[in-house]
Amino acid sequence: MSNTSVAHVSTPLIALTPELARRAPKVLLHDHLDGGVRPATVIELALEHGYPDLPTTDVDDLSAWMLRGANRRNLELYLQTFAHTVGVMQHVDSLSRVASECAQDLAADGVVYAEVRFAPELHVEAGLGLDDVVRAVLAGFREGERIAAAAGHPITVRALITAMRTAARSVEIAELALRFRDQGVVGFDIAGAEAGYPPSRHMDAFDLIRREHFHITIHAGEAFGLPSISEALGWCGAERLGHGVRIVDDIDALPDGSHRLGRLAEYVRDRRVPLEMCPTSNVHTGAATSYEDHPIRLLMDLRFRVTVNTDNRLMSGVSLSDEFMHLSDAMGLTLDRMQWLTVNAMKSAFNHFDERLELIDRVIKPGYAELFRGDPA
């Protein structure tokens, strides 16, 4: 077994530029709807619905405030910034608008398929029912897809329904996800503070999803270590891991430069469990010390099923092409590796197999082939 081999490719090594990173077709599996609202929209919706608590009503100041609030090397502090985006997403029109703009923004950045997640239980403060919330968001995605396609940037957006791991509504939320499975919802997730809230607290919800042959991804191994990953996979039936960076705690570097994988890390690699890695978010929450030291480099070298994601575009001040540029700057990521990561993500998506294949064969591969040939935009 050669642990350090990288993807062998016949394509030339092309360095990424911001232009190439944006033009290249991309797939996004881990992005929070309430973490990607346009700052101007937060302010407009606050005025429209009389939300009084924004720290500022200046667009640039609000962007800076969010980024400052997020970059405090602590997951719990990071999560506090969401009070304001969630605060203005309590009505049908605001949820639809945010979802539509999300689809348009991702499409303009070159994302061709996205799974965007949100927690319906956080959007019922003004009296909406859980079903109203999901319906409003799905309608927004459809509208955003239409507008993006008309602008020449086709995108497919699917939803993941998140239950808050710190609350006790996960069964209800799992039932909700199942009710909308044929209308654009493709999976179930749990999110929120990880320490003290292991995924096994929500076994009933995961059992229900599994009995119905639906899909599960779990935020695990972000702020908390191997036990969280172990439970997510072994008990809860997670098919993908949100972040999963702490899997490196189960990998030892040996003096000869090779690596020894523990039982859990072997399992994750053998089973091709997709890791939804979010480099910028990890640097901000302290899950990684820097881009240079981010475990994604080692995990790519060891051929784990790595994918690259944004997590929260507003709080982290990033787009998906920015994330790829950060990896290019920190570790020399090239266009062929970007294609490998993108195909990894598409293979790991929760939409149906025929749709995934179609996107890989008709959109992703031809899109990269064009860039390798150096075709003009």
Active site residues: 222
Q: Which residue is nearest to Zn ion (CB)?
A: 311
Q: How far is the CB of 242 from Zn ion (least distance, A)?
A: 5
**CB hemisphere CA count around 322 (13 angstroms):** 14
Q: Which phi and psi angles does 242 have, rounded to 5°?
A: -75, 115
Residues numbered 119 to 148 that lie near Zn ion (CB under 5 A) are: none
Strand 259-261 vs strand 251-253: parallel, antiparallel, or unpaired? Answer: antiparallel
Nearer to Zn ion, 162 or 339 (CB): 162
CB of 36 to Zn ion, least distance (A): 11
Report, in Å, the least distance between residue 173 CB and Zn ion.
16
Q: Which is nearer to Zn ion, 54 or 187 (CB)?
A: 187
Place of tokens 């929760």: 350
CB crowding 195-216: b at 16 or more within 10 Å, else e: eebbbebbeebbebbeeeebbb
What is the rounded distance in angstroms from the CA atom of residue 92 to the CA atom of residue 96? 6
Question: CB-wise, 28 or 134, nearer to Zn ion?
Answer: 28
Tokens of 271: 């089973």
Structure-token match 């800076």, residue found: 64
Q: Minimum CB separation from Zn ion for residue 310, in Å? A: 9
The amino acid that residue 370 corresponds to is E
Burial code (b: 16+ CB inside 10 Å, e: under 16) for 331-368 equals bebbbbbbbbbbbbbbbbbbbeeeebeebbeebbeebb
Residue 20 CA to residue 246 CA, distance in Å, equals 31
**Least distance to Zn ion from the beta carbon of 122, Å?**
14
Report in angstroms how near the CB of residue 248 gets to Zn ion at its nearest.
Answer: 18
Distance of closest approach, residue 23 Cβ to Zn ion, in angstroms: 26
Residues 291-330 that bind Zn ion (CB under 5 A): 311
Q: Return the DSSP state at 291.
A: S
Nearer to Zn ion, 71 or 339 (CB): 71
Distance CA 374, CA 376 (A): 6
Nearer of residues 243 and 337 to Zn ion, judged by Cβ: 243
Query: In the chain, where do the E strands start and end?
Result: 26-32, 111-118, 156-164, 185-191, 216-220, 240-243, 251-253, 259-261, 275-277, 306-308
Nearer to Zn ion by Cβ, of 51 and 82: the residue is 82
CB 53 within 8 A of CB 83: yes
Residues whose CB falls within 8 Å of the CB of residue 343, separated by 6 or more in sequence, listed in order:
360, 364, 365
Which amino acid would we find at residue 207? Answer: D
Q: Measured from the CB of residue 175, what is the shortest distance to Zn ion in angstroms?
A: 22
Contacts for 68 with CB less than 8 Å, ≥ 6 apart:
none
Q: How many chain residues interact with Zn ion (CB under 5 A)? A: 1
Identity of the residue, 287 or 364, whose beta carbon is nearer to Zn ion in the bound complex = 287
Residues that bind Zn ion (CB under 5 A): 311
